[in-house]
Amino acid sequence: MENTAINSGAQVTLDRLNTPSRLTGGGLGSLDGGDFLKLLTTQLTFQDPLEPTDNEAMLAQMAQFSSLAATTEGSATLTEISAKLDRLIAAQEAALSPAGQL
């Protein structure tokens, strides 16, 4: 039962990954860290215990996840900085506007 739930969750993630992003908003842009963990968990669940995943491949996948997390965090930080700069510019324009009309 649990394998079926994991398998269906992974299938939903794979379906979202294979959806063309420019048509429906799917594809890589719609995946997040939770989706990566679903795929990784499914991969580990169904791997052959006599032929486990190579350590280098596992480390590469973890590095990709770390890179995804860093990129997402960096993007959120840049969005916050942009919003603060927009508010600062608006405040400066508002402060200068009455002074320029005198």
Q: What is the pLDDT of residues 13-26, one digit of tens each?
A: 667 666 654 444 44
The reply to whether 73 and 37 lie within a common domain is: no
pLDDT of residue 24: 44
Tokens of 22: 């420019």
Q: What is the pLDDT of residues 49-99, one digit of tens each?
A: 777 777 888 788 788 878 877 888 888 899 999 999 999 999 999 888 866
pLDDT of residue 30: 61
Overall domain count for the chain: 2
Query: At 29, is the pLDDT very low, low, confident or very high (cuts 50, 70, 90)?
Result: low
Dist. CA 79–CA 92, nearest whole Å: 20
Query: Which 3 state secondary structure label does DSSP give 50?
Result: coil
The reply to whether 45 and 68 lie within a common domain is: no
Contact by Cβ (8 Å): 42, 6? yes
The reply to whether 43 and 87 lie within a common domain is: no
pLDDT of residue 79: 92
Query: Which 3 state secondary structure label does DSSP give 72?
Result: helix
The reply to whether 6 and 44 lie within a common domain is: yes
